[in-house]
């Protein structure tokens, strides 16, 4: 089958999208491609200067496009609430919510609310953001939520006794793996609850294989090998773009590169990790996420 490329993205005119962490890397390329296909794109970024620069770069490529910056710091639930309230006040619809922003193996650090940074930024704040924007998603026909995970989910485990690595001591890679497994569990559980409520919104997930971005800033080894193995950001964004726009995407489907070890190549449907199929974990993660963020969805499990 022919490789899926940006040319396969259907026209997005009239559609609205939010991309978190859109100032650089995979998020930037995702926002850029959607804008070039006609979507009105909101870049949700924590750093206003970097965000403005990204908006200008996209406008230079697509002068007629609708691109805006809104500040969103996922390390603070207050910022998530402020962003969501303002976005809901200003918009009638939300076609694509792309949960892309992420941090990988930072030194031990915490969010404003005291959560381990990777669990807080990569999962909890995206959970809160989605919950607060859900009314818009629900009222938009053919809306999608896209969650960006990683092959790192394969070594992730959910330790519900110590989600914040407080008891066992901070371990950067296991914490990253846990956060990326949480992304997959969230994808499945959100889709299940939406379907149970009779909602048509699709939830999909993607991972970019190995892509050279700023993500590797805290891992000297990964940065060192980037020039040899990593693909470039426009290629790394394709699984996300396919998950967001392929008309044939199935509920809770997961896209990644088709090459060896899913490290590089054109995007195809790939299986989620086995641990993501544990329904009890998906339910527990949902409940604990509601408790920790204080954001309760109006969706019950059927
Ligand atoms: N690159 C890979 O090989 C790879 C592999 C598997 C999965 N992924 C996933 O792909 C996604 C995108 O990563 P990337 O490779 O494009 O990395 P990146 O270039 O480092 O981009 C990450 C984005 O997230 C933003 N971000 C970080 N902390 C944030 C916060 N507290 N609030 C709001 N935004 C925040 C960053 O903002 P700043 O620029 O201000 O830091 C940046 O815009 C992540 O979810 C990552 O886990 C990447």
- Nearest CA to 31 out of 98, 102, 129 is that of 98
DSSP letter for 7, please: G
Q: Which of 26, 48, 120 to mutate to test the pocket of ligand 1 (most atoms within 8 A of CB)?
A: 26
Q: Whose Cα sits closest to atom 44 in ligand 1?
A: 102
- Expressed in angstroms and rounded, the spacing between residue 301 Cα and the centre of ligand 1 is 31
Residues 211 and 235: beta-carbon distance below 8 Å: yes
Instruction: Say what the pLDDT of residue 302 is.
Output: 67
Q: Whose Cα sits closest to atom 42 in ligand 1?
A: 21
**What are residue 148's DSSP bridge partners?**
206
Each residue of 240-296: pLDDT tens digit?
Answer: 999 999 999 999 999 999 999 999 999 999 999 999 999 999 999 999 999 999 999
- Expressed in angstroms and rounded, the spacing between residue 171 Cα and the centre of ligand 1 is 19
Contact residues of ligand 1, CB 6 A cut-off: 20-21, 23-27, 45-47, 50, 72-75, 100-104, 121, 148, 150, 207-208, 210-211, 213-215, 236
- Expressed in angstroms and rounded, the spacing between residue 60 Cα and the centre of ligand 1 is 23
Burial of 271 per CB tally in 10 Å (0-12, 13-18, 19+): exposed
Backbone angles phi, psi at 162, to 5 degrees: -150, 60
Task: Give the number of other CB atoms < 10 A from CB of residue 2.
Answer: 6
Beta strands 96-99 and 144-148: pairing type?
Answer: parallel
Residues 257 and 263: beta-carbon distance below 8 Å: yes
**What are residue 17's DSSP bridge partners?**
41, 96
Each residue of 125-150: pLDDT tens digit?
Answer: 999 999 999 999 999 999 999 999 99
Cα(127)–Cα(147) distance, integer angstroms: 10
Q: Which of 213, 226, 262, 273 to mutate to test the pocket of ligand 1 (most atoms within 8 A of CB)?
A: 213
Cα(13)–Cα(16) distance, integer angstroms: 9
C-alpha of 17 from chain center:
12
Instruction: Say what the pLDDT of residue 223 is.
Output: 76
Looking at the CA of residue 74, tell me the nearest atom of ligand 1. 32
Using DSSP, state whether 260 is helix, strand or coil.
Answer: helix
Backbone angles phi, psi at 18, to 5 degrees: -115, 130
- What size, in residues, is the chain? 302
- Expressed in angstroms and rounded, the spacing between residue 121 Cα and the centre of ligand 1 is 10
Task: Give the number of other CB atoms < 10 A from CB of residue 40.
Answer: 19
Using DSSP, state whether 131 is helix, strand or coil.
Answer: helix
- Nearest CA to 34 out of 3, 63, 66 is that of 66
Q: Whose Cα sits closest to atom 37 in ligand 1?
A: 21
pLDDT in tens, the chain (302 residues): 799 999 999 999 999 999 999 999 999 999 999 999 999 999 999 999 999 999 999 999 999 989 999 999 999 999 999 999 999 999 999 999 999 999 999 999 999 999 999 999 999 999 999 999 999 999 999 999 999 999 999 999 999 999 999 999 999 999 999 999 999 999 999 999 999 999 999 999 999 999 988 887 767 777 777 777 789 999 999 999 999 999 999 999 999 999 999 999 999 999 999 999 999 999 999 999 999 999 999 887 76
Instruction: Say what the pLDDT of residue 3 is.
Output: 96
Instruction: Say what the pLDDT of residue 233 is.
Output: 96
- Expressed in angstroms and rounded, the spacing between residue 120 Cα and the centre of ligand 1 is 13
Which CATH code for domain 6-293? 3.40.50.720
Cα(123)–Cα(146) distance, integer angstroms: 13
Residues with active-site annotation: 176
DSSP H helical segments within the chain, as ranges? 25-36, 48-61, 77-90, 117-118, 125-138, 172-196, 220-229, 233-236, 238-245, 279-293
Instruction: Say what the pLDDT of residue 156 is.
Output: 97
| Dihedral angle sign, alpha carbons of residues 104, 106, 111, 117 | positive
Q: Which of 25, 44, 79, 256 to mutate to test the pocket of ligand 1 (most atoms within 8 A of CB)?
A: 25
Domain boundaries, the chain: 6-293
């Amino acid at each position: 089958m022919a490789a899926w490329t940006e040319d396969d993205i259907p026209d997005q005119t009239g559609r609205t999208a939010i991309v978190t962490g859109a100032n650089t890397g995979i998020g930037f390329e995702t926002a850029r491609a959607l804008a070039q296909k006609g979507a009105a794109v909101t870049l949700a970024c924590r750093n206003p200067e970097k965000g403005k620069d990204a908006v200008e770069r996209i406008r230079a490529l697509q002068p007629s496009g609708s691109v805006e910056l809104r500040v969103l710091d996922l390390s603070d639930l207050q910022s998530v609430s402020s962003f969501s309230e303002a976005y809901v006040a200003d918009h009638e619809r939300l076609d694509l919510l792309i949960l892309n922003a992420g941090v990988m193996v930072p030194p031990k650090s915490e969010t404003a609310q005291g959560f381990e940074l990777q669990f807080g930024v990569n999962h909890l704040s995206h959970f809160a953001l989605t919950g607060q924007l859900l009314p818009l998603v629900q009222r938009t026909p053919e809306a999608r939520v896209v969650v960006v995970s990683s092959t790192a989910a394969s070594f992730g485990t959910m330790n519900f006794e110590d989600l914040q690595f407080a008891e066992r001591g901070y371990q950067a890679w296991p914490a990253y793996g846990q956060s990326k497994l949480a992304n997959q569990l969230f994808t499945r559980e959100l889709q299940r609850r939406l379907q149970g409520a009779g909602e048509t919104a699709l939830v999909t997930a993607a991972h970019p294989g190995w892509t050279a971005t700023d993500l590797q800033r805290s891992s000297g080894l990964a940065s060192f090998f980037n020039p040899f193995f990593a693909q470039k950001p426009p290629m790394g964004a394709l699984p996300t773009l396919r998950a967001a726009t392929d008309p044939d995407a199935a509920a809770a489907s997961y896209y990644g590169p088709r090459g060896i070890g899913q490290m590089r190549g054109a995007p195809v449907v790939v299986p989620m990790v086995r641990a993501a199929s544990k329904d009890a974990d998906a339910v527990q993660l949902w409940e604990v996420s509601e408790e920790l963020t204080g954001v309760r969805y109006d969706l019950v499990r059927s």
